[in-house]
Amino acid sequence: MEILFYFLISLIAILISCIIFSNSIEWLGARLNLSHGITGSVLAAVGTALPETIVPLVAIFWGINRENLVKVLQGDATTLNSVNQISLGAIIGAPFMLSTIAFFLIGLSSYVYFKSGRRKSEIIKVDKTVLERDLSFFIFVFSLAFLAVFLDNHIFHVSLSVLMIAVYLFYLYKTISEEGKGEFKGEELEENLDPFFLTKLIPNLKPSIFLISVQLVFSLVLLLFSAHHFVEVLQQISHKLSFPAFIISLLLTPIATELPEKFNSWMWIRQKKDTLAVGNVTGALVFQSTFPVSIGLLFTSWHITSPIFYTTFVFCLISAAIVLYASKKNKLTFKTFLLGGVFYLAYLGLVIYTQIK
């Protein structure tokens, strides 16, 4: 019962931090006069990606002795097998959850609000420039990450990690330079903003960039603390299930660390801010497939032996490719995103089958 109590408390803390964070991001984007594409794909995506970036770093370096640190820095992580597997699972699990569960929740929320009459069309109206740019970058870099699994060469892994960082910097350049060139200029962001949260505590308070930054930092600190605590509780629960460390980390850790993207996107779909909702997820996909993957390439073995684990990469890439294809054909509806849930259930079924076989 005690573990369940801490589980619920940490989950509620994550939800509260998500709400405050999304409010801060919207106001910051408005004050900086940014489009929804940049607000969703860069500000929200990088901010909410911090927890899952920190998890593998903590797993690798927290409490490590000098001898093992040298081995890790030299690319020999096999001596720390449990830490190696947890780190791999957290890094690969993040884009897996985004391209399956997060996509599914976008489709589900759109469907729910369409059936309730809140949305007038089943079409998800996003800035195609933002969506197609994000998914094209993701498919390219995550395919390289998949290729690296089969090439056990430290020099190649180091070179590829440098390329990953360079690709993300180029992505940021493209995102900023293409602002305002797409179909959407921002969906009248300021006119649809929810009240600034600090003004609820202090009436007549003007949301300056400084106060927005204070609220944003507070939400991120709360988010990082609650997500980290949530992961610890999940690890205690998972210890009793006798599952491999990679599977537990892959399926459980991102549930906590990816909650911001999932719930922020649900809220933005409810508010008919589709570019923010989808860009938050696709932008996070680009970030998760570059910076955290570069950490994995540098400090883990980046080696997976079981064919069932290969399907993690395959399902991610197929799910992203389907959404990209639907966007190019102007057929992006909630049905497209609902397919993400099918891939997740298929993978979960395969994992359970292999464990009980």
Quote the percentage of the chain above a pLDDT of 70. Answer: 73
What pLDDT digit, counting tens, does each position of 346-357 carry? 998 888 777 666
Query: pLDDT averaged over the chain?
Result: 79
Q: At 173, which CATH number?
A: 1.20.1420.30
Q: Which of 30-44, 86-100, 272-286, 330-344 has the weakest average pLDDT?
A: 30-44
pLDDT at 188: 46
Residue found under tokens 């970058």? 137
What pLDDT digit, counting tens, does each position of 282-297 carry? 988 998 899 889 988 8
pTM above 0.75, yes or no: yes
How many separate domains does the chain show?
1
Q: Is 50 exceeded by the pLDDT of residue 184? A: no
Q: Which residue has the higher pLDDT, 24 or 110?
A: 110
What pLDDT digit, counting tens, does each position of 324-346 carry? 999 999 889 999 999 999 999 99
What pLDDT digit, counting tens, does each position of 225-283 carry? 777 777 677 667 766 666 666 676 677 666 666 666 677 788 778 878 888 788 888 98
pLDDT at 164: 94
SS3 240: coil
Cα–Cα distance, 258 to 95 (Å, whole number):
9
The DSSP result for 11-47, as a single string, is HHHHHHHHHHHHHHHHHHHHHTT--HHHIIIIIIHHH
Cα–Cα distance, 26 to 271 (Å, whole number):
12
Per-residue pLDDT averaged across 100-115, rounded? 90
Q: Which of 83-92, 148-157, 173-182, 282-291 has the weakest average pLDDT?
A: 173-182
Say what angle helices 307-328 and 334-356 make with each other, to 10 degrees.
170
Q: Is 90 exceeded by the pLDDT of residue 159? A: yes
Quote the percentage of the chain above a pLDDT of 90. Answer: 23
Q: Which residue has the higher pLDDT, 36 or 295?
A: 295
Per-residue pLDDT averaged across 184-209, rounded? 69
The domain of 118 spans 2-188+196-356
